[in-house]
Amino acid sequence: MKIIDGKLTAATIRQELKEKIDKLKLEGKNVPGLVTILVGDNPASEVYVSSKIKACSEIGIRSKAEKLPSDISEEELLNLVQKYNEDINYHGILVQLPLPGHISEDKVIEAISPQKDVDGFHPISIGNLVIGKDTFVSCTPAGIHELFKRYNIETKGKHVVVVGRSNIVGKPIANIMLQKKDYANSIVTVCHSAAKELSYYTKQADILIAAMGSAEFIKGNMVKDGVVVIDVGINRIEDPMKPKGYRLVGDVDFDEVSPKASFITPVPGGVGPMTIAMLMSNTLKAFERYGE
């Protein structure tokens, strides 16, 4: 069994990006810019945004954070998005989700220019992904695919079982793995809550991607020997022995599953760090494609 170290891989990617941006600076050129828009004071969202801003600072991406009150109108938010669509200094726009209930997330996502859709959520980005065109891919699935590349994991003809059908992870990673491309070209099954006997499918997986948001749901008796396990889940469970009173676990019971796995991502330190690394990568990509 080999641990897939997402933290180390993400650090390597960030260093590679920093070197490219340092080169732009030395040549006297513009650098990529990312604006993050946070509505309200959701503590988890604030943590995510601050970590993204910190990553920008570390690798040399120009960043700006717009923090807006929770009672901002939908129209005002859409106008702000349009302002940054037209701002040549910012090549990526990220609106932190979730948004307050009175604002349509779909309208806001669709208002972002597809050229600046570094989150990969715009319907045009999703459509391009499905038909196999080069596009912005949502960051967590892109991070999973990058881990397959960096660890040289064979995927061609392998049975990939995705547990979860969210628009953020399950659907896009299924579409990535279907493509006739390197580190994809797989046979893909997508499972979800309607499956009567989930283990019937998970036991067939050569590569299991767990993204359902249920703490330690995948047990050792649900996988076969030699499986590659990608655990996307991040769940808090009570643990009085920990200083904060809880610990983070994935959707996979690591202690049970890891002895049967050939590769496995831990939680924390697996897929999570890759998400921000791929956001940075998408921002550089937007700059290289459309930047001034």
User: Do 107 and 152 sit in the same domain of this protein?
Assistant: no
pLDDT digits (tens, 9 = 90+) for 88-104: 999 999 999 999 999 99
Helix, strand, coil proportions of the chain in percent (round to 5)? 40, 20, 40
Residue 68 has pLDDT above 80, yes or no: yes
Residues in the chain: 292
pLDDT digits (tens, 9 = 90+) for 36-56: 999 999 888 999 999 999 999
Residue 233 domain flag: yes
Residue 14 domain flag: no
**Total Cβ atoms within 10 A of residue 14:** 18
pLDDT digits (tens, 9 = 90+) for 151-164: 999 999 999 999 99
User: Do 163 and 107 sit in the same domain of this protein?
Assistant: no
- Overall domain count for the chain: 2
- Residue 239: the pLDDT is 87
Residue 65 domain boundaries: 28-113
User: Do 70 and 156 sit in the same domain of this protein?
Assistant: no
Residue 70 domain flag: yes
pLDDT digits (tens, 9 = 90+) for 207-224: 999 999 999 999 999 999
Residue 219 domain flag: yes
Max CA pair span of the chain: 60
- Residue 1: the pLDDT is 86
pLDDT digits (tens, 9 = 90+) for 72-91: 999 999 999 999 999 999 99
Give the sign of the dihedral formed by CA 161, CA 142, CA 84, CA 49: positive
Where are any strands of DSSP class E within the chain? 2-3, 33-39, 62-68, 92-95, 159-163, 187-191, 207-210, 227-231, 235-238, 246-249, 261-264
User: Do 147 and 253 sit in the same domain of this protein?
Assistant: yes
Find how far residue 38's CA is from the centre of its chain. Answer: 18
Catalytic residues: 52, 96, 119
How far is residue 25's CA from residue 30's CA, in Å, rounded to a whole number? 7
pLDDT digits (tens, 9 = 90+) for 227-256: 999 999 999 888 888 888 888 999 999 999
- Residue 84: the pLDDT is 98
Domain containing 67 — which CATH number? 3.40.50.10860
Residue 69 domain flag: yes
User: Do 158 and 103 sit in the same domain of this protein?
Assistant: no
Residue identified by tokens 């703490």 is 215
Query: What integer is the mean pLDDT of 110-134?
Result: 97
Query: Which residue in 202, 196, 134, 193 sits closest to 166, CA to CA?
Result: 193
Query: What integer is the mean pLDDT of 111-132?
Result: 97
pLDDT digits (tens, 9 = 90+) for 173-210: 999 999 999 999 999 999 998 999 999 999 999 999 99
Which spans in 89-236 are helix H?
105-111, 123-131, 139-150, 170-178, 198-202
Residue 280 has pLDDT above 80, yes or no: yes
- Residue 292: the pLDDT is 62
